[in-house]
């Protein structure tokens, strides 16, 4: 689904959604995309409990299905965890790893995140690896330093991944970096990724992305799409973001991963 000429919009539902409202949301977004022939790629990342139920509707609407985390081992005595082979069986093609909420509330280190990304890739899934500075790092002018450290520690060996830059302080806060700051960080990430891999890697921006700012953020070089949290939970908001992304079809800086 993610073709080189299309922006990629990923909806991260976090711990939200039960079957009835999930189906309503997918149907509303899917029908919109279908009737508008929106030329943009869409991935939905619902909670684990909805993956199997939503795999059919997602396939029907040509949305990718993603999970929000996976364990680094394929199976074993890890109560409460879910592995990459299990996600694959549930119909996933993507998995978010290293989201700042996992780093913060589950003490996930860069080493674990790299292992999770490797486990996903080994199973044929595309990991969406999240990195980003905290508010204090931002205020101390350490954004690029933090990004570089995280990339050095998190990147798997294979380029079959998507990178998401999500400033921690922008997530769910309504705040975003300036367009110039996003431009600088994405350019910096792109440079590192080009050094690391021969194949281009998509870079998404995430953190308070919404209809009001989607168009201008998506216009920034090396912003190949958006990772959307809160605004992906309302059909009207999410479709407005999809609409903004569709305007850039064919103008991508990067090839698809």
Q: Which residues bind ligand PGA (CB under 6 A)?
A: 12, 166, 171-172, 206-209, 227-231
Residue nearest to ligand PGA (CB): 229
| Residues recognised as catalytic | 99, 166
The nearest distance, CB 226 to ligand PGA, in angstroms, is 8
Nearer to ligand PGA, 57 or 206 (CB): 206
Residue matched to tokens 């989607």: 214
Nearer to ligand PGA, 16 or 158 (CB): 16
- Residue 103: Cβ within 10 Å count: 20
How far lies 145's CA from each of 17, 132, 141, in Å?
36, 10, 9
The nearest distance, CB 166 to ligand PGA, in angstroms, is 6
Count Cα atoms within 13 angstroms, Cβ side, for 79: 0
The nearest distance, CB 35 to ligand PGA, in angstroms, is 25
Nearest Cα to Cα of residue 96 among 115, 78, 117: 117
Q: Give me 56's structure tokens.
A: 């059919």
Looking at 74-158, which runs of residues are DSSP E strands?
94-97, 126-131
The nearest distance, CB 65 to ligand PGA, in angstroms, is 16
Nearer to ligand PGA, 231 or 240 (CB): 231
Nearer to ligand PGA, 5 or 164 (CB): 164
d(CA 200, CA 28): 33
């Amino acid at each position: 689904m993610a073709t080189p000429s299309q922006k990629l919009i990923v909806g991260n539902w976090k711990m939200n959604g039960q079957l009835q409202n999930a189906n309503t949301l997918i149907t509303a977004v899917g029908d919109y995309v279908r009737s508008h022939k929106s030329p943009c790629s869409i991935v939905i990342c619902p909670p684990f409990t909805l993956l199997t139920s939503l795999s059919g509707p997602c396939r029907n609407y040509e949305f990718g299905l993603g999970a929000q985390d996976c364990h680094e081992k394929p199976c074993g005595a890890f109560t409460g965890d879910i592995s990459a082979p299990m996600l694959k069986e549930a119909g996933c093609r993507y998995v978010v790893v290293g989201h700042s909420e996992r780093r913060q509330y589950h003490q996930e280190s860069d080493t674990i995140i790299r292992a999770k990304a490797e486990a996903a890739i080994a199973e044929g899934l595309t990991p969406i690896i999240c990195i980003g500075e905290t508010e204090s790092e931002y205020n101390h002018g350490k954004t690029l330093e933090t990004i570089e450290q995280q990339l050095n520690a998190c990147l798997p060996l294979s380029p079959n991944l998507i990178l998401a830059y999500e400033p921690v302080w922008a997530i769910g806060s309504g705040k975003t970096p300036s367009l110039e700051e996003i431009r600088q960080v994405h350019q910096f990430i792109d440079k590192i990724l080009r050094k690391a891999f021969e194949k281009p890697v998509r870079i998404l921006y995430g953190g308070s992305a919404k209809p009001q700012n989607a168009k201008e953020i998506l216009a920034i070089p090396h912003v190949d799409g958006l990772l959307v949290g809160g605004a992906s939970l309302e059909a009207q908001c999410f479709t407005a973001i999809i609409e903004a992304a569709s305007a850039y079809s064919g103008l991508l800086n990067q090839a698809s991963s």
